[in-house]
């Protein structure tokens, strides 16, 4: 009998800045502008070097959405020698490639031209849709307007960027809203074929936030949403859950294909209170399934050549590396 395969990526998490224009009711990632609000080039280089030594293949670059709109932030960026956060991100992605790690950037709302620029230094990119519903949790967060987020996901399709998106459960949406969100993602994928994975992520309350006392979605509710996603989405779209935010072992049989990026080095800066499971723990989580390492760009997009030509040597080398590690595990 052939065992199911559950995949994961070995990554480093690099939050270039936690300054953000949005004011989401559940977020503890965002911080005000202050000294140290920008991850220095030296810190980035050190993290990349250590990550490469530990066998990481993905550099997850994140930053608060449009941080330049926050008064005072540009001074820190200029002090580091950069004019825009996009300039800085592009430069750090190039350092990642030089270290032998493929960049994957999730930077909030970007224009078509900005994504086209970052495509040259990213093997894949992402943006959580979260929900197509208008919820109070997103009041004061213009970047969370559903039409704007769907528009960016569509632009990624036009650019043939292998893309990650997903739903955030428990922020005020209904099951009908989740179905509508999945339908929107499915329709975009049918048009462009670029959605490689969808994350089904549960909201985690954070002390000191407006939603600190909101109820957390239970395992059965999350399982029902995973099953709904699996029934609606094409098989080639992997369904991912974060293994550090929920008892993932109870959700594997609901239709999970992937456990996302897991780091042996850096914390989950969005949910810092939830440590990543170690590799041996991941093997226990998947149970009878076979755990297989992957790159941030999925195999079908490597075969199609959906990447900038300059990334081909590194993609090919790392693809052989993860295949060798998986066959030896």
Q: Which of 103, 102, 32 is nearest to 62 (CA)?
A: 103
H-only helix segments in the chain: 41-53, 73-79, 85-99, 112-119, 146-158, 175-192, 219-232, 279-286, 299-304, 312-328
Helix (H, G, I), strand (E, B) or coil at 150: helix
52 vs 43: CA distance, rounded Å: 14
Domains annotated on the chain, with CATH:
5-328 (3.20.20.70)
286 vs 292: CA distance, rounded Å: 10
Contact call for residues 73 and 33 (beta carbons, < 8 A): yes
Q: What are the pLDDT digits (tens) for 19-77?
A: 999 899 888 888 889 877 999 999 999 999 999 999 999 999 999 999 999 999 999 99
pLDDT at 328: 64
For strand 238-240 and strand 195-202, is the pairing parallel, antiparallel, or unpaired?
parallel
pTM (2 d.p.): 0.95
pLDDT at 267: 86
pLDDT at 112: 98
pLDDT at 2: 62
pLDDT at 214: 92
User: Which segments in the chain show pLDDT lower than 70?
Assistant: 1-2, 328-329
pLDDT at 17: 94
């Amino acid at each position: 009998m052939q065992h199911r395969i559950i995949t994961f990526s070995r990554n480093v998490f690099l939050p270039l800045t936690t300054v953000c224009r949005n004011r989401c009711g559940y977020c503890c990632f965002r911080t005000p502008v202050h000294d140290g609000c920008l991850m220095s080039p030296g810190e980035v280089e050190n993290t990349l070097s250590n990550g490469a030594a530990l066998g990481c293949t993905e550099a997850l670059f994140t930053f608060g959405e449009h941080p330049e709109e926050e008064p005072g932030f540009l001074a820190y960026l200029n002090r580091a020698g950069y004019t825009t956060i996009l300039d800085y991100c592009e430069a750090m992605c190039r350092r990642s490639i030089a270290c032998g790690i493929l960049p994957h950037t999730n930077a909030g709302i970007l224009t078509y031209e900005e994504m086209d620029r970052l495509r040259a230094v990213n093997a894949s990119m992402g943006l959580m849709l979260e929900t197509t519903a208008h919820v109070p949790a997103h009041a004061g967060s213009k970047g969370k307007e559903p039409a704007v987020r769907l528009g960016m996901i569509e632009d990624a399709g036009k650019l043939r960027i292998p893309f990650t998106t997903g739903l955030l459960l428990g922020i005020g949406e209904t099951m009908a809203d989740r179905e509508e969100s999945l339908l929107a993602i499915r329709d975009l994928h049918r048009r462009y074929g670029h959605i490689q994975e969808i994350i089904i992520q549960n909201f985690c309350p954070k002390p000191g936030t407006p939603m600190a006392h909101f109820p957390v979605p239970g395992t059965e509710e999350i399982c029902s949403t995973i099953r709904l996603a699996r029934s609606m989405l094409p098989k080639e779209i992997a369904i991912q859950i974060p293994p550090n935010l929920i008892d993932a072992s109870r959700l594997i049989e609901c239709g999970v294909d992937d456990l996302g990026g897991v780091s042996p080095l850096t914390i989950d800066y969005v949910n810092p209170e939830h440590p990543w499971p170690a590799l041996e723990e991941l093997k226990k989580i998947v149970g009878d399934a076979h755990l297989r390492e992957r790159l941030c760009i999925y195999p079908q997009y490597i075969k199609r050549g959906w990447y900038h030509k300059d990334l081909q040597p590194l993609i090919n080398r790392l693809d052989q590396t993860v295949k060798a590690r998986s066959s030896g595990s």
